[in-house]
Structure 1
């Protein structure tokens, strides 16, 4: 037994670190923490320790809380974020008002990745302060941010420059917010949004030269963009290489050239264009010639974008409810 233990302890830290990746954090600390100083130091230095709080955490040994790097809090669980001194990635799903208040007021979180989604209507009043916290560089090391899914991004105060932000996924925005994002995030590479809508804004900004990928995920429950909105949106990103658009039909709006002329005007560097056309069950019932129409859409799309870049027209069939 002693020989086996000696052989086990003779393994290099890299082997243990590889094994530890497959173990859940609570069980990992329960099994190895306090065995000796070597294991203590190794566990405390692991860069990938993740805790997913799906249920009551009161049964956990709190020894590992200060060493968590990635924290996921789900299903309206309340906990003191100050107990996690080294988290770099925070995901909140169905956050409570207490959690959002902590996040907004905290000055000790050094987050690099933040995701806040599935917000209940009872906590929507926190959205303005949350947006201001993020876009006033309240998390100065933030590299990626996912906010609100289908909620509306608002701006109540002066935004500052976010030099580290590289990836941004947000909900509904208007052209004023869109321009504010481009101005505040000079190194932004990837932008995903629910939709972009018109407003009366005359703000002029410089083209954003670093943004390379845009995904627009409009749904039937979100106000749809127009070609005029898209024309303005794409006019500010001349170096865009990838564009993906999700558009619900409801019911088969006639597209002119599937954005081909707008792309030709503004996106000389585009490599890929993916258009996702969403068809719902009720539309298949209302339109008996649906397959003929879809084939015609595909044909016209192919002609409009043929050989200019990699283009794809995908039909997504789904239930409305």
Structure 2
């Protein structure tokens, strides 16, 4: 009868270890006893994911690890992993790339570099790979690979599989000439270069069995892909995503060029003659691998031929699911892609309500009149001219970096808006007039408003008598103006039913506030985007006196350590002001954001955090829903 873990046989232990992560293996089993150490040492083919600098498990098991995935920009030492077979660099930096050498990783079989932050080193690495420096390497994914200088690659007989991105189509014949034993080749062309037909190499009977060619779908360039076909006569599987002038000519040439073809996949856009009749049955009969080709007529006399079943089955989806899918798509792109495909799709598009439209430019507004009356949320970026009256049922409006003309549209035609955001406007005087309209009930349906770059008016203008905006319930204001907190008084007076206020300021001064106690304000978030905190709490006392029925309060400030440590340890966290004036408060969160915390080592920093937390708790020891949350960079 087994009564303890050590009673298990070696075979059972080894079976268990197959399901244990290498981290748990190191910290849970290693060095428990000699027997377990021997069993762990007998393990082969360990895999490791590195999310930070070299860890304990990577050091202990370095000789047993054959697969590593690096998902950090931290410097990693690869020297200890002499038996490494597979390496994936999800974010390759200079430190990583310099260590990918045949003398450091002589047994490397698989190499993948999805993202590289050093173009020159990646180019140098590609040159070494395609010059047979890594004699064991069989599979590689190098992403961006450009044409070498002076065509300097020598032959590479080890590689069997390559996947890469390249800006130049002429790299295809060069790789075929260089990699004489290649059986799989996938490439995505990222730029528009002509194929140099007259300099194509003389390659006979290349063993390539599978070829994938992908052209970006936003590119309409016609590549002379047919000229490459003679270089790969033994293809069995072909996948093409490109543009062509004649689909029928292309697939007829493919059927003649590749006698061994058993699988053909495509996503090919053809610029067709509008009088040409498409005979899909004739196309399918050209070759047995064409049996699942289908087509979709597109706008501008184009036709999409594809074998991708997920696109073809779209019309088989029920209306409810199609409508749910459409809700996640940009409305302009949705109409550009689906409108006039058939009557059913048109009816579904016309049934969509409360549309969300983002305007980046006026170049794509050809279909706007078809859905303008159903746009419920409108977002306008930069200095784009738009006609708000065109979208007469908009209820939610967001303007980014707007100027006079964009804001004037709202002032004239925006009386029906329910929510409004004016982010980083670029015209002071128009913006000031716009603010006066907001707080004088010129937008009678407005319930929520987000305003940035707000500046307090001059003393004389500040005395203007705003009429009340009784329907405004939520307000978000940010500013770099030192006097803007004084504007909070007329804002609170002008919004008697305000329920939530978010105030983000750069600094405060001690200008007195003249405001009556606000009876309906329940939620408040206050952010001070400056390291300088007021010397005393007088301004907060005056401020919170104006909102005695507050129920939820969030305050956020930044600090540096160790420079501000003594101040923080003596800080009372506004406890006297809060307990004295906010008797209805149910929840209080203070966010403390540390800057330059890397000046302290981690253990010392943790001690400081404990001291600060203790100080906070001591000030609010009877309030269990009051929290201090600390973050750092």
Cα deviation, residue 55, structure 1: 4.2
CA distance in 2, matches of 1:203, 1:232: 9
After superposition, the Cα gap between the structure-2 partners of 1:118 and 1:91, relative to the gap in structure 1 and judged at 3 Å, is: same
CA distance in 2, matches of 1:317, 1:299: 18
After superposition, the Cα gap between the structure-2 partners of 1:203 and 1:109, relative to the gap in structure 1 and judged at 3 Å, is: closer
User: Is residue 220 from structure 1 mapped to residue 534 from structure 2 by the alignment?
Assistant: no
Structure 2, unmatched stretches of 5+, are 1-314
Alignment partner, residue 73 of structure 1 = 380
After superposition, the Cα gap between the structure-2 partners of 1:55 and 1:138, relative to the gap in structure 1 and judged at 3 Å, is: same
CA distance in 2, matches of 1:287, 1:204: 47
Alignment partner, residue 165 of structure 1 = 472
Matches within 5 A, 1:1-321: 18-30=324-336, 31=338, 35=343, 42-43=351-352, 46-47=353-354, 49-63=355-369, 64-104=371-411, 106-120=412-426, 123-148=427-452, 150-154=453-457, 156=462, 157-172=464-479, 174-195=484-505, 197-201=508-512, 203-205=514-516, 207-220=517-530, 224-225=533-534, 227-250=537-560, 251-252=563-564, 253-254=567-568, 255-281=570-596, 284-285=598-599, 290-318=605-633
| Contact 1:213–1:243 (Cα < 8 Å) also in 2 | yes
CA distance in 2, matches of 1:75, 1:220: 28
DSSP-derived class of the 1:296 partner: helix
| Contact 1:115–1:147 (Cα < 8 Å) also in 2 | yes
Cα deviation, residue 119, structure 1: 3.2
Bigger-Rg structure (1/2): 2
Cα deviation, residue 97, structure 1: 3.1
After superposition, the Cα gap between the structure-2 partners of 1:275 and 1:108, relative to the gap in structure 1 and judged at 3 Å, is: closer
DSSP-derived class of the 1:193 partner: strand
CA distance in 1, matches of 2:626, 2:520: 22
CA distance in 2, matches of 1:199, 1:229: 6
DSSP-derived class of the 1:101 partner: helix
Cα deviations by residue, 1:179-230 (Å, 9 ceiling, x for unpaired)? 212211111111001137345446351x212111100122138x75552111
**Bigger shift: residues 28-37 or 262-271:** 28-37
| Contact 1:174–1:199 (Cα < 8 Å) also in 2 | no
CA distance in 1, matches of 2:624, 2:472: 28
CA distance in 2, matches of 1:203, 1:109: 30
CA distance in 1, matches of 2:375, 2:322: 18
CA distance in 2, matches of 1:183, 1:199: 20
Cα deviation, residue 280, structure 1: 1.1
After superposition, the Cα gap between the structure-2 partners of 1:56 and 1:40, relative to the gap in structure 1 and judged at 3 Å, is: closer
DSSP-derived class of the 1:139 partner: coil
| Contact 2:447–2:471 (Cα < 8 Å) also in 1 | yes
When normalised by structure 2's length, the TM-score is: 0.43
Number of equivalences: 300
Alignment partner, residue 78 of structure 2 = none
Cα deviation, residue 139, structure 1: 1.2
Cα deviation, residue 59, structure 1: 4.7
Cα deviation, residue 170, structure 1: 0.3
CA distance in 1, matches of 2:605, 2:348: 63
After superposition, the Cα gap between the structure-2 partners of 1:29 and 1:169, relative to the gap in structure 1 and judged at 3 Å, is: same
After superposition, the Cα gap between the structure-2 partners of 1:116 and 1:287, relative to the gap in structure 1 and judged at 3 Å, is: farther
Structure 1, unmatched stretches of 5+, are 1-7
Cα deviation, residue 246, structure 1: 0.8
| Contact 2:472–2:497 (Cα < 8 Å) also in 1 | yes
Alignment partner, residue 4 of structure 1 = none
CA distance in 2, matches of 1:97, 1:108: 15
Cα deviations by residue, 1:52-99 (Å, 9 ceiling, x for unpaired)? 123444453122223211001123322222222111101111213321
Cα deviations by residue, 1:88-126 (Å, 9 ceiling, x for unpaired)? 10111121332123333x145411011111234xx2343
When normalised by structure 1's length, the TM-score is: 0.80
**Bigger shift: residues 83-92 or 52-61:** 52-61
